[in-house]
Amino acid sequence: MAIADDPFIFEACEPLIRGGKRLRPMLFIMCANSKVDCPPEKTMPLATALELIHTASLVHDDIIDTSKKRRGVETANSKYGAQIAVLVGDYLFAKAFQLVAENNYSSEVQMILSKLVKNLCVGEIMQDRSLFEVPTLNEYYTRINLKTAIFLSSCCRLGAGVAEMDRREVDNLTAYGSGLGLAFQIIDDLLDFFGDEKITGKPHGGDLKSGVITLPVIRALEISDEASTLRKIVTTGGNVDAAIKIIQATDAVDYCRTRAEAHIESARINLPLTLKTSVALALEQVADFIVDRTR
């Protein structure tokens, strides 16, 4: 494993490494095998780098949100303190770029990854600077694009590039990944309120308690008869359970699912017809998973 040579780093990250969906490296590898089988030595270092970047972002997110648990286990910042957790995240970012450099990936690959990390940071800064403020729909979409959609689209773009697909195919797979990312985050925001805590490993309303206002809240504020009460709760850090009841009494869940499904349909439409049948089927199944997932 990429970080097995440092026992402490491995111990700090093990809960994140052992769990998770591996969605980002999986998308990259599938796209890299879009037309012909790509040798593992060409895909695994970059796939590993993508997962390390994702893991690093989770470590840093937990520090910013002062989260005590993720995936049902204690976070690095809760276990070792914020100072150590910051350095663990930095280590993972550095290790990812070390893998890319050691395996002689192109300058374009390095540029895509650099922009990806930059956008993750911009999205997180944008979110942190607007805590307990109700975003417009456009502001919400800008944030989830920076934090999630660009990551998944970059994984697909990198895979298509490794597969040496033509520009139109690369653009189509990039658009597929973007649609997945938007849908993924919308469903994630729903699960924060209504998911099974035993499955998600996170308490209900975690985002709201941290001051992060997402699409279910935005929708409920538009149509609820108790919008003024809900606004007061979400902008002052009030009773999360009361907020959830107000949201549940609206069409917010159906509204968010409809939007997520529309993004998934857009993703499907962009799948190139030139893909291997097995890869096309797998990418279709990923799209199904995004909207049906429970964690």
What is the pLDDT, as a whole number, of residue 19? 67
**pLDDT for res 39:** 93
Q: Whose CA is closest to 186, among 255, 92, 131, 269?
A: 255
**173, 145 contact by CB (below 8 A):** no
Tracing tokens 């995936």 back to the chain, one arrives at 71
- Measured between alpha carbons, how far is 279 from 26 in angstroms, rounded to an integer? 11
H/E segment holding residue 74: strand 73-74
Mean pLDDT for 134-141 is 97
CATH of domain 7-292: 1.10.600.10
Least confident of 75-84, 102-111, 276-285: 75-84
Contact indicator for 154, 112 with CB cutoff of 8 Å: yes
State pTM to two decimals. 0.92
Q: Which helix (H) or strand (E) holds 144?
A: helix 137-144
The 10 Å CB-count burial string (b at 16+, else e) for 236-245 is eeeebeebbe
pLDDT category of residue 150 using cuts at 50, 70 and 90? very high
Q: How many residues are given for the chain?
A: 295
Sign of CA dihedral 120, 126, 131, 137: negative
For residues 117-127, average pLDDT: 96
Pairwise pLDDT comparison (105 vs 206), residue with the higher score: 105
Structure tokens belonging to residue 81: 């303190």
d(CA 276, CA 223): 45
What average pLDDT is seen over the chain? Answer: 92
Give the pLDDT band (50/70/90) at residue 287.
Answer: very high
Q: Per the structure block, which two tokens stand in for 145?
A: 């694009």
For the stretch 135-163, what's the b/e string if a residue is b when 16 or more beta carbons lie within 10 angstroms of its beta carbon? beeeebbebbbbbbbbbbbbbbbbbbbbb
- Residues 149 and 182 sit within 8 Å (Cβ to Cβ): yes
The predicted pLDDT at position 29 comes to: 97
pLDDT at site 74? 85
Mean pLDDT, range 103-128, rounded to an integer: 96
Domain locations in the chain?
Answer: 7-292
Residue 2 has pLDDT above 90, yes or no: no
Is 60 exceeded by the pLDDT of residue 200? no
* pLDDT of the residue at 157: 98
**How far is it, in rounded angstroms, from Cα 165 to Cα 161?**
6
pLDDT at 233: 96
* Residue 19, φ and ψ in degrees, nearest 5: -95, -165
Q: How confident is the model at residue 201 (pLDDT cuts 50, 70, 90)?
A: low
Say if residues 244 and 193 touch (Cβ distance below 8 Å).
yes
Please give the structure tokens belonging to residue 238. Answer: 């009030």
Largest pairwise CA distance in the chain: 59
The residues, ordered by sequence, that sit 6+ positions from 255 with a Cβ below 8 Å of its Cβ are 215, 219
Span 223-252, pLDDT tens digits: 999 999 999 999 998 899 999 999 999 999
Q: What share of the chain is helix, strand, coil (3-state, %, to 5)?
A: 75, 0, 25
What is the predicted pLDDT for the residue at 221? 98
Q: Is 70 helix (H, G, I), strand (E, B) or coil?
A: strand
